[in-house]
Structure 1
Amino acid sequence: MNPVRAFWLVLTLLVTSPAWAFQSRVVSIPSAAMHKSFDATVVLPDQYTSGKGAERYPVVYLLHGSGGDYTDWTANSPIGKLADRYHVILVMPDGGRESWYIDSPVDPRSRYETYVGTEVVAYIDEHFRTIAAKQARAITGLSMGGFGALHIALDRPDQFGAAGSISGAVDPRGCENEPGIEQVFGDPARDAGFWNSEAIVENARSLGDAHIALTIDCGVNDSLVQSNRTLHERLVELGVPHDYAERPGGHTWKYWANAVQYQVLFFAGAFRHAHVASNMASGMTGAAS
Structure 2
Amino acid sequence: MSRLLTAIIFLLGISSVYAAKVDTVEVYSASMKKKVKTVVVSPEKGTPKATLYLLHGYSGNYGNWVNKTPQIKNWVDQNEYLIVCPDGGYDSWYWDIEGTGDRYETFVSKELVSYIEQQYGAPADRTKRGITGLSMGGHGALYLAIRHQDVFANAGSTSGGVDIRPFPNNWSIKKRIGEYHDNQTAWNEHTVIELIHQIRPGNLKLFIDCGTEDFFFGVNNALHEKLTYMNVAHDYLTMPGKHDWNYWSKSIDFQMAFFNQCFQEKPAAK
The alpha-carbon deviation at position 275 of structure 1 amounts to 4.7
By how many angstroms is 1:160 displaced? 0.5
Pairing partner for 1:255 from 238, 241, 247 = 247
- The runs of 5 or more residues in structure 2 that have no matched partner are 1-12
Residue pair 2:163, 2:193 contacting (<8 A) in 1 also: yes
Q: Which residue of 2 aligns with 1:95?
A: 88
Post-superposition Cα deviations, 1:122-160, rounded to whole Å, max 9, x if no partner, equal 110111110111011000000000000000001100000
The residue number in structure 1 matching 2:79 is 86
* Counterpart check, 1:168 vs 2:166: no
Taking the aligned partners of 1:85 and 1:24, their CA distance within structure 2 comes to: 15
Of 122, 127, 131, the residue aligned with 1:130 is 122
Displacement of 1:209 in angstroms is 4.2
Q: Quick one: which of 44, 47, 55 aligns to 2:45?
A: 47
For residues 56-75 of structure 1, what are the alpha-carbon distances to aligned partners after superposition, in whole Å with 9 as ceiling and x for unaligned? 42000000000001000011
Alpha carbons of 1:172 and 1:16: their partners in 2 closer, same or farther (altered >3 Å)?
A: closer
Q: Using structure 2 for the length normalisation, give the TM-score.
A: 0.90
What is the identity, as a one-letter code, of the residue corresponding to 2:116? I
Match of 2:211 in 1: 219
8 Å Cα contact 1:154-1:210 kept in structure 2:
no
Alignment partners' CA distance in 1, 2:34 and 2:226 = 39
Q: Indicate the percent of aligned positions where both proteins have the same amino acid.
A: 36
Q: Counterpart in 1 of 2:33?
A: 35
Map 1:98-113; keep pairs closer than 5 Å.
98-105=91-98, 107-113=99-105
In structure 1, the partner of 2:180 is 188
Shift of 1:39: 0.6
Distance 1:267-1:186 versus aligned 2 partners, 3 A rule: same
Structure 1 runs of 4+ off > 6 angstroms?
none
Residue deviations 1:164-208 (CA, integer Å, cap 9, x gap) = 000000001123222422222222122111101222112222235
Q: Which has the larger radius of gyration?
A: 1
Q: Which amino acid in structure 2 is aligned with residue 40 of structure 1?
A: T
SS of the residue 1:46 aligns to: coil
**C-alpha distance in 1, partners of 2:53/2:203?**
18
Q: Give the 3 Å change call, closer, same or farther, for CA 209–97 of structure 1 in structure 2.
A: farther
SS at the partner of 2:35?
strand
Native 8 Å contact 1:134 1:161 kept in 2: yes
In the superposition, the TM-score normalised over structure 1's length comes to 0.84
If asked which structure has higher relative contact order (CA below 8 Å, sep 6+), I would say 1
Aligned-partner Cα distance in 1 for 2:132–2:50: 14
Shift of 1:226: 0.6
